[in-house]
């Protein structure tokens, strides 16, 4: 499974928002996001760091995690 992974600029947390089991779909989504096209995968997301802080999270890639 390829998980679209983000990293928060403020708190440094990494997290996934969505994923796909297809390598080509992951690559296509990353390319479209880098071109600024709308879709499920975006270059930036708002991240709730904790109850009082909010940061901007950057897309850092599609991380492959093998099925267990």
The model carries a pTM of: 0.85
* Distance separating alpha carbons of residues 7 and 45, to the nearest angstrom: 9
Digit-coded pLDDT (tens) for 28-60: 999 998 888 877 788 999 999 987 999 999 999
Collapsed DSSP state (helix, strand, coil) of residue 59 = strand
Q: What is the pLDDT of residue 56?
A: 97
Domain ranges of the chain: 2-64
User: Which tokens go with 68?
Assistant: 């267990």
């Amino acid at each position: 499974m390829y998980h679209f992974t983000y990293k928060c600029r403020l708190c440094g947390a990494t997290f996934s928002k969505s994923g796909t089991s297809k390598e080509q779909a992951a690559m296509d989504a990353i390319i479209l996001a880098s071109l600024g096209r709308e879709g499920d995968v975006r270059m930036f997301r708002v991240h709730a760091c904790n109850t009082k802080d909010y940061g901007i999270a950057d897309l850092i890639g599609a991380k492959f995690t093998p099925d267990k």
